[in-house]
Structure 1
Amino acid sequence: MTEVAEAEALILARMPSWPSIRTATGASRGRVLREVIVAERDQPPFDRVTMDGIAISCADWSGGLRRFESIGTQAAGAPASTLTGPGQCVEIMTGAVCPAGADTIIPVERLRREPGSTIIVDETPIDRGQCIHPRGSDRRQGDRLLEAGIRIGATEIAVIASAGYADVAVAALPRVAMISTGDELVGPREPLAPYQIRSTNDFSIEASLALAGLAEVTCARLRDDETALTRAVAALHDDHDALIVSGGVSMGQFDFVPAVLERLGAELVFHRVEQRPGRPLLFAISRDAKPIFALPGNPVSALVCLTRYVIPALRHAAGLQADPMERAVLTDSVTRSGRLTYFLPVKLGWDEQGTETAEPRATNTSGDFVSLAGTDGFVELPKGRKHDPKGTVARVFRW
C-alpha cells in the first residue's frame, strides 16, 4: 500500500502540462499566467506630480520668492509646460507631467491666488523634489513585473494592462469528466426510493474545481454495470483531458472501476493509500497519457482526496506556483488508532498571539458530509501516533 507522501509524488511526476493559450487581458482573471510580463517603459514614465498645486523651481523659493507669476495650467494627460524664467509657476494637477524647469510642487493648501499670480502663504520649509514621483523610480523599461506561474487577480491584471499587453498567455483549462458511479445515486429532482440516496459527490467536486478555477467540468452519473461503465468511461476519456471517478474503487463485488481501467489499457500507478479517510484512492494514466483519479464513493473521503491530491495535481499541470505550506495548532487533543495518516476536518481561527488555530470537527463516518459544513478544511496528522495533544502543529489543507 502507498504512503501519503509517495502518492502525492507519484501523481505530480505523471501529470501532464496543460498547453498555453492567449486570451484578452480583461478575460484573464482567475487564470494561471504562462509568460513573463515586462515593463513597456519606465514606471512612472515621467516625473509625475502627486498633489494639486503649483510647480516651481526650488531655487526661487530658496532665493526668497513667495509670489509667482502664473504662466498656465497643466492637467494630467497634457504635454509638459516649460518655465521660461525665474519667478514663474504652472498651475498643476495630480498625475500631470512635471513642467520643464520645475523641480518642486507646492500643494494648493499652502497657496493664495491673485489675478496673474500665486502667493505661497505657508512658510513651512520645502524640499526640492517634493510631491514629485520620479521617472523610473518604481520600475525601469524591460524590468520583469510578473513571473509565470501566478494566479491572475485584479492587481495582476492592472500590471499586465499597464505594460501594454492586450492579450496574455495563460494555461488552458482542461476538460475534466466527473463520473459518479452507483445504483443508489439519485439526482435532486428524481424520485427517491427508500434504498437510494441523493448524489452529492458530483456537485461538490464540480463546485470545488470551479471555485479553484482549474477545469471545465462535465458530470456523468453511471450505474454499477461493468459493460456500460466501460463504454461510458472510454467515451468520456476520448472527449476530455482528465477523468475523476467517484465510487466503485474499493474491493467489493460491484467495485468495477479498477477492472474497467485495466481493460481500457490504463496503467494503475497506485491503488490504496495508507490514510483515513480515503484509503481506496486509485491513480492511473491512460494509454493517451491522460490522468485518471478514482476516489472513494463516501462523500467525506471523496472531498478529502480531491483536496489532498487532485486539486494540487491540476494546479501543477497548470504551472501554478505552489503555495507556502500552511500550518495550524490544534485547539484540542485528538486520539486515533495511529495505523494510518489521519485527515481531520477543522475550523480555523486565530489565538490572541496571532497563531493560526485548528479546532477539530471530526465526522461520525466518512459518509457524514453534513458535518463538513462550517469547516475550513482538514489537517494531516501523520501515522504512527495514537495521540496528538492540544498544541500540536499540523499541516492544513483548505477545502
Structure 2
Amino acid sequence: MKSVDAHLAEILATVRPLAPLELELEQALGTTLAEEVSSPVPLPPFDNSAMDGYAVRAADISDVPVTLPVIDDVAAGSDELRAVGPGHAVRIMTGAPLPAGADTVVPVEWTDGGTVSVTINRSAGEGNAIRRAGEDVKLGQTVLEPGTVIRPAQLGIIAGVGRRRVWVRPRPRILVLSTGAELVEPGLPLGPGQIWDSNSFTLTAAVREAGGEGFRAGTVGDDPAVFLEQLDSHLVRADAIITSGGVSMGAYEPVKEALTPLGTVRFDKVAMQPGMPQGFGVVGEDQVPIFALPGNPVSSFVSFMLFVRPALDKMRGLPAGPPATETAHVTTPVRSPAGRRSYLRGMLAADGTVAPVRGQGSHQLAALASANALVTVPEDVTELPAGSAVEVIRL
C-alpha cells in the first residue's frame, strides 16, 4: 500500500497556486494577497484628537480648576485652519484636526462641558489624547506582504491606505459531487435501501471553512457515463473537483470505472484507516485536479483533512504540508491495525488529554460530529496503553 505521506506528496507536486487577479475590495475577503501593499501617506495623515474634548495649551491648565473661554469648534472632517492662543480653548471632536498652538486635549469628561467657556477640573500633560501624524503608518511603509490572507482587519488597512483594488490569489472554486444510487437529497422521503446524502454537504462546508468556494453539485447514481457527463458539465467553473464514493474494489464503482480509462487519474490503496481507497489525478483540457475520496462519511472527511485541505492551501498561495499536530495523552487504551496509520476521532481537553469517542466506524458520522480532534496512531503501532503520548490534529 501507498503511504499517507507519499500520497500527499504526489498531490502537492501536482496542484499549483492559482494565478493572481485584480479584485475590488468587496470581493477580496478570504483571498491571498499577491502584491506588497504600502501607504502613499502617513497614517494618520495629520495630528488629530483621540477623544471629544477641548484643545488647549498644557501650560494653561497646570493649576486646576481653571475656566477658559471657548473660541471655536472643530469637527471631524473640518478643512479650516484653526489656532489656539494662550489662555483659550477650542472644542474638538474625535478625529478632528488639532488646531495650531494646541499641545493637549482635555476629555470632555474632565470638564463641565461648556460651549462659551469651559471649566477644566483635571490637568493634562502635553500630547494627551492626541493621535500624531504617522504614528500608525509612516509614509511609504509596507503594511501587508504578499502571501497574507485577507481577513477583515487586512481588508481595512488596504482601504485605509487608499486602495480600491488589489492583486490577490482567489479562493479556489471547488466542485463537490457525491455518487451512489442509494443517496437521497435531505428533505425527501427515504425508500427501501436508501440513505440521505451527507457527504456533499460535509465536504462543501469543509471547502468553505478551508478558504475555498465550495459548489455542491448534488448526487449521481452508479452509471459511469452519467458521472462523466456531470463532470464535464462542471469542469469549466472548477479549479478542483472532489468526489465521494465509487472508488472501492467492488462492482458499481462509477468514479473508478469512468476515470481509470482516462489514464490521468490514479487509484491507490493508502495505508490509513479510515480512508484506504483513494484516487487522485487531473481531468479535462485544463488539467483540473480531482480528488476521488471514499464514500463512507468519516473516511471522506478524514481524507479531506489529510489531502484536500493542504492542496487548497497551495492553490491559495499559502505554505502547504501535512496538517499541524500537537502532543496529547490518551485517556484510554487504543488499538490500531498493523501497517496502517490510524486516525481515531477524539475529544481533546484543555489539560492536554484526548479521549477517543465511542464509535470509531468509518460510517459513524454522529461520533465524528462529537469529536474535535483526530488521534494519530503510527503504522508500526498496534496498541497503546492509557496515558500514552500521541499526536493529534485539531478539527
Band the TM-score falls in, shorter-chain normalisation: 0.7 to 0.9
Instruction: Give the corresponding residue for 2:162.
Output: 164
* Letter in structure 2 aligned against 1:18: L
Are the aligned partners of 1:55 and 1:103 in contact in 2 as well (CA < 8 Å)? yes
Q: Give the letter for the 2:3 counterpart.
A: E
Using the TM superposition, name which of 317-326 and 96-105 deviates more. Answer: 317-326
2:184 corresponding residue in structure 1 = 186
- 2:49 is matched with which residue? 49
Q: Partner of 1:394 in structure 2?
A: 391
Equivalence for 2:365? 369
Task: Determine the C-alpha separation between the residues in 1 that align with 2:8 and 2:255.
Answer: 21
Number of equivalent positions:
391
State the percentage of identical aligned residues.
34
Q: C-alpha distance in 2, partners of 1:92/1:239?
A: 54
Q: 1:280 to 1:146 in 2, by over 3 A?
A: same
| DSSP-derived class of the 2:23 partner | strand
For residue 17 of structure 1, what is the amino acid of its counterpart?
P
Do the aligned partners of 1:39 and 1:143 also contact (CA within 8 Å) in 2?
yes
Q: Structure 1's 12 and 89: CA in aligned 2 closer, same or farther, altered over 3 A?
A: same
Structure 1 residue ranges without an equivalent (≥5): none
Mapped partners of 1:40, 1:114: distance in 2 = 39
Q: SS in structure 1 opposite 2:290?
A: strand
Distance in structure 2 (CA, Å) of the matches to 1:206 and 1:73 = 55
Paired with 1:196 and 1:202, the residues of 2 have a C-alpha distance of: 16
Partner of 2:272: 275
Q: Where does residue 359 of structure 1 map in the other structure?
A: 355
CA deviations over 1:235-254 (Å, ceiling 9, x no partner): 54455332222122122233
Provide the residue aligned with 1:339 in structure 2: 339
Match of 1:378 in 2: 374
What are the superposed Cα offsets for residues 171-222 of structure 1, whole Å, 9 maximum, x if unpaired?
3344433232223333335564433333222222123223434024141423
Q: State how far apart, in whole Å, the 1-side matches of 2:242 and 2:132 are.
A: 54
Q: Match of 1:350, SS?
A: coil
Q: Is the 8 A contact 1:177 1:244 kept in 2?
A: yes
Structure 2 counterpart of 1:135, one-letter code: A
Q: State the partner residue of 1:200.
A: 198
Quote the Cα distance in structure 2 between the aligned partners of 1:252 and 1:69.
91
CA 195–92 in structure 1, closer or farther in 2 if over 3 Å, else same: closer
Superposition pairs of residues 1-399 of structure 1, within 5 angstroms:
1-61=1-61, 66-79=66-79, 81-83=81-83, 85-112=85-112, 116-122=116-122, 124=123, 126-188=124-186, 192-237=190-235, 240-268=238-266, 271-286=268-283, 288-320=286-318, 325-327=324-326, 329-333=328-332, 334-351=334-351, 355=352, 357-388=353-384, 389-390=386-387, 392-398=389-395
2:269 touches 2:276 (CA, 8 Å); kept in 1? yes
CA deviation map 1:314-365 (0-9, x unaligned): 22202245699352524513232342111111223313xxx5x433215342
Paired with 2:73 and 2:277, the residues of 1 have a C-alpha distance of: 74
SS at match of 1:41: coil
Is the Cα–Cα contact under 8 Å of residues 177 and 220 in structure 1 kept in the other structure? no
The structural deviation recorded for 1:161 is: 1.9
Deviations 1:249-300 (A, max 9, x none): 12223335345323224153x6221111001112112363211111111111
Report deviation, 1:109.
3.3
Structure 2: stretches of 5+ with no match in the other structure = none
**Per the alignment, in what secondary structure is the counterpart of residue 310 of structure 2?**
helix
